[in-house]
Amino acid sequence: MHFPCISVPAGFAAPEKFHFQSLLFRTIILNLGHDLSVNLPFSTGKSILAWLKSIKSKIVVFAITATLIPSLGLGLLSFRQNEAQISDNVTLELRTLTNYANREMELWIDKRVHEVHVTSTSSAVIDGLSAIEPLGTDMVGEDPRALAHYLRSVQEKLDTILELTVVNAAGQVVASSAETPAMMTLPDDWPQSSLTEGLVAVPVHWNKQYATATVSIAIPVLSYDNILMGALVAVLDLRTLQPDLKSATKSPPGEVLLLDPDGRTLVSSHADADELMQLDASSLQRLLAQPGESLVFDGLTHREVIGLADVSAELGITILAERDYAAVYGAWIELRNMFLALVSALVLVMAAVAFQMGRSIVVPLQRLIRAADRIASGDLEVRLSATRHDELGHLTQVFDQMADRLRRSHADIMAANEAMQQQNQVLETLSITDSLTGLHNRSKLDAILNDELARFRRTQRQFALLMLDIDHFKTLNDTYGHVVGDEILAAVARILLQSIRSIDYAARYGGDEFIIILVETSAELALKTAERIRSHVESMCYSVSDSTITVTVSIGVVQCQPDDITPTAVFTRADHALYEAKRAGRNRACRAP
């Protein structure tokens, strides 16, 4: 059928072209549906109906429907990329949160260390510690209450400090701003950096005495002559760090929490910090196993969160940043669900169209399949009647012609197949057999030895290998000729085949060398077999031109070892054993160590 030519402007976009083609297709269908009211020639209407009934028309319909699939795929890909972008952005924001909190925490610690260091260098502390316990004596000096009063006055001015305690060089408490000072152990050797940076005496933990998270730092107290007199220990209130964990203007959305090793919240930027519970142990392990990577888990600030964790190198606590999962992915999830609903509807429509198309195509194809199955099973008396006038009808006719040809040539095919199988058997035998001796050739020998080595590594079932060499074979060849030499090789090969079991293997290694593989045989039994072969060869007499030839062999015996990885390793050890047999005088069997 020929349609009128309609020119499409070059500026049409792809969607406009698709819309134009859809309008043209629908116009054709509507005209066909109103065939009674359209004055078309009979032959033209019949051609259109034939085209609509052909498989080609069904494929065209399916192709038009299939154009929806790329759009769905691109939509899903777009959602996936959008999700990945959201995840990357959230991860970057959470890393920014943890980095900001870590930096602020380090600055907070440095400031507290500076305050305590200033106090430790004050004359009140140095003179007080000297007066209370003079250096080099065991006498107790002035009353330490004056020094304790000074420590309390300093502590009241610094709201971040809960307790100030002065200890002597032996670690004994001399004076404290608290009635019950916290006990701690100071190092015997102070690091050089402690003179300016201090020393974390007690890491961050939950202090039951003060009902808050605390960290204790110690600053050495030096005399005017730079002699270590003791230390000033400050217990810091970590709650004062809360306003600095997150900036209202610089920090991205999210909450920052400081956790102890058990996952308990010590300090948090969340408004309801007192109501936060302990983080699940499995979630904490996952976060610490992938530092700097965002994960989804049951959080502390919301039911389901996206968070990542980092560990403070200075205080040894976990810095956790969280964002509400629903707030991050809420709009994306809603749009995704709407898209999936639309896809589901389109899938149902496409399934209905495909079902109708498949039914019109598959039913006749099933007849052909059943007929083909019968032919495949050996029934060549299959005949189909072509009742359709489309491509499937033509295919049915061709199928009947093929079945007729198969019936006519079946006998010829079977005969050719049988001849081919016989030739294949001959070729297979020739490919693995030495033509002179009838033993396995070198290629087959390597394959057998590889299999035996693999079996030995798998089951630890040992095997032995014999390498034989005919003594003075070159002299025999030079004296009596190569024909006699070939006959001697064949005679030795027959003795080898008669001396081994059916499960063993004999092969010609090359020239006048032979290899025997004895399956599941120890070196002792292999040595007996080698001696039996040597004796049989020695007793063989060969007459040439009224002279008798005596043939002897030298044999090297080896047993498989765990370090035998390749056939070359086994052949090398067997060759050494064979060389020892020749060096010892030939006509003997030697076993490799």
Q: Please list the rounded mean pLDDT of every run of 10 residues in the chain (593 residues).
A: 38 37 40 41 64 64 70 80 88 90 88 87 84 50 74 88 87 85 76 70 82 87 84 89 84 88 85 71 88 87 89 82 88 84 76 68 76 79 74 78 78 77 79 87 91 92 93 89 89 92 92 93 92 91 79 93 89 93 92 82
- Residue 418: inside a domain, yes or no? no
Distances (CA, A) of 130 to 172, 223, 466: 14, 8, 93
Provide the pLDDT for residue 139: 43
Q: What is the CATH number of the domain that holds 76?
A: 3.30.450.20
Q: Judge whether 238 and 161 are in contact, CB under 8 Å.
A: no
Q: Which of 169, 186, 173 has its CA nearest to residue 144? A: 173
* Domain shared by 130 and 14, yes or no: no
* Domain shared by 36 and 81, yes or no: no
Provide the pLDDT for residue 579: 95
* Domain shared by 314 and 452, yes or no: no
How many Å apart are CA 412 and CA 421, to the nearest integer?
14
Q: Which two tokens stand for residue 169?
A: 């060089």
Provide the pLDDT for residue 38: 41
Provide the pLDDT for residue 582: 92
- Residue 89: inside a domain, yes or no? yes
- Residue 309: inside a domain, yes or no? yes
Q: Which of 481, 502, 495, 482 has its CA nearest to residue 553? A: 495
* Domain shared by 452 and 578, yes or no: yes
Order of all β-strands in the sheet with 513-519: 505-510, 513-519, 463-470, 553-559, 589-591
- Residue 512: inside a domain, yes or no? yes
* Domain shared by 537 and 481, yes or no: yes
Written as one string, the DSSP assignment of 458-506 is HH---EEEEEEEETTHHHHHHHH-HHHHHHHHHHHHHHHHHHS-TTSEE
**Global pTM value:** 0.50
Provide the pLDDT for residue 469: 92
- Residue 420: inside a domain, yes or no? no
Give 76's contacts (C-beta < 8 A, 6+ positions apart): 339, 343
* Domain shared by 94 and 228, yes or no: yes
When divided into structural domains, the chain yields a total of 3
Provide the pLDDT for residue 363: 73
- Residue 179: inside a domain, yes or no? yes
Q: Phi/psi zone of residue 440: left (φ > 0), alpha (ψ -120 to 50 degrees), beta?
A: beta
* Domain shared by 457 and 313, yes or no: no
- Residue 96: inside a domain, yes or no? yes
Of 308, 325, 342, the residue at which a domain comes to its end is: 325
Provide the pLDDT for residue 4: 38
Of 274, 306, 325, the residue at which a domain comes to its end is: 325
Provide the pLDDT for residue 57: 67
* Domain shared by 65 and 155, yes or no: yes
* Domain shared by 3 and 62, yes or no: no
* Domain shared by 299 and 260, yes or no: yes
Of 290, 305, 325, the residue at which a domain comes to its end is: 325
User: Residue 563 CA to chain centroid, in angstroms?
Assistant: 30
- Residue 342: inside a domain, yes or no? no
Query: Any idea what DSSP says for residue 206?
Result: E
* Domain shared by 12 and 106, yes or no: no
Q: Of all helices (H) and strands (E), which one includes residue 232? A: strand 228-237
User: Residue 229 CA to chain centroid, in angstroms?
Assistant: 59
* Domain shared by 224 and 114, yes or no: yes
| Domain carrying residue 302 | 54-325
Provide the pLDDT for residue 294: 87
Q: Judge whether 186 and 177 are in contact, CB under 8 Å.
A: no
